[in-house]
Amino acid sequence: MGIAAQIELAAPAPAVGITISGLDETAPSRVALYRQHAGEGRTVVQGASDVSMTGAGYVVDYLPPLGRVVTYTVEVLEGAIVPAVLSTQVEIETQAAWLQDALNPLLAAEIGLSRAAGGGDIWFTTGALARLERHIAAQTVVPMGSRYPVIMEGTRQAPAGIPLTMITAAAEAGSRLRTLLSESQHLVLRVPPRMSQLDAVVHLGDVQMPEEPLTDSMSRWLVTGTQTRGPRVGVYTALWTYDDIAALYAGATYTDVADGRTYVEWQRAPEDRGIASLMGVMSGA
């Protein structure tokens, strides 16, 4: 027992389901799931950097690379039993690209690489990827008395303003793409190996979506976007509510509770005040 992967045929866009078994059945284990393919380093599967499982579990990767052999590896972060098999491989065979919402798998569109190459009702035009700009941050300083400036440069950035010109050949396709572009907060473009100018999985920000209607049902989309890091969603829960604090310090004045800590320190640990001495002040002892 260990890890096994299979293509999720019921998903709105190509996805991979990973089954992890052989974990401790008597207590929860913490695991992390990674994927990797030739030419790119290991990356954590979205939402699977620290997952609790008892005995076994199932994770869906909604953003696997397309047309490439992908290796999935499970790492047991905490648990008494480590599965015998820790890695597995799978490949999604396709000649098309997929544009989708990074956080909502239901919003997705298949895009043909050209009309001739089985483009369906949405395809890239020859203007797509016509120019890729990879900027570099630089600052120039001219030393006094020197004809030669000194320049400090950062790291070459991922492509910006990527042209993704598309055609929608039917009203339904145009509506589908319009909804995807309008409602998605963060887009992901997954491309097959033929589009070698880009990474296999490209997170896009600053996406612009000019639409040029060509006929009643056909439109040209002059979409551009900048490659960014993938999103991370932080969820915060309150350990102390206003009512909790009011009940804890009922009847106390500011002078009673002031102990030299900053406001941020108080927010971090309001219970650190000496409760026993405070209660004595409040009771008049």
CA distance 196 to 40: 12
Q: Is the pLDDT of residue 280 over 90?
A: no
What is the fold, at CATH topology level, of the domain defined by 97-228?
Elongation Factor Tu (Ef-tu); domain 3 (2.40.30)
User: Residues 170-220: pLDDT tens digits?
Assistant: 999 999 999 999 999 899 999 999 999 999 999 999 999 999 999 999 999
Please give the mean pLDDT across all residues of the chain.
88
**What per-residue confidence (pLDDT) applies to 278?**
45
CA distance 126 to 139: 36
Least confident of 97-111, 196-210, 226-240: 226-240
Q: Is the pLDDT of residue 86 over 70?
A: yes
> pLDDT tier at 150 (50, 70, 90 boundaries)?
very high
> pLDDT tier at 222 (50, 70, 90 boundaries)?
very high
User: Residues 21-50: pLDDT tens digits?
Assistant: 999 999 999 999 999 999 888 999 998 999
> pLDDT tier at 237 (50, 70, 90 boundaries)?
low
**What per-residue confidence (pLDDT) applies to 252?**
79
Q: Are 9 and 46 in contact (CB under 8 A)?
A: no
CATH classification code of 3-91:
2.60.40
Q: Is the pLDDT of residue 221 over 70?
A: yes
Q: Is the pLDDT of residue 271 over 70?
A: no
What value does the mean pLDDT take over residues 156-167?
96
The DSSP result for the chain, as a single string, is --EEEEEETTSSS-EEEEEE----SSS-EEEEEEEEETTEEEEEPTT-SSEEEBSBEEEEESS--SSSEEEEEEEEEE-S---S--EEEEE---SSEEEEESS-TTSEEEEBSSSTTT-TTEEE-TTTTS--B----EEEE--TT-SS-EEEE-PPPPPBSEEEEEEE-SHHHHHHHHHHHHH-SSEEEE--TT-TTS-SEEEEEEEE--EEE-SSS-EEEEEEEEEEPPP-------SS-HHHHHHHTTT--HHHH--S--HHHHHH-GGGS-HHHHHHHHHT-
Q: Where are the domains of the chain?
A: 3-91, 97-228, 242-283
Instruction: Give residues with Cβ within 8 angstroms of 107, minimum separation 6.
Output: 12, 100, 101, 179, 180, 183, 184
> pLDDT tier at 233 (50, 70, 90 boundaries)?
low
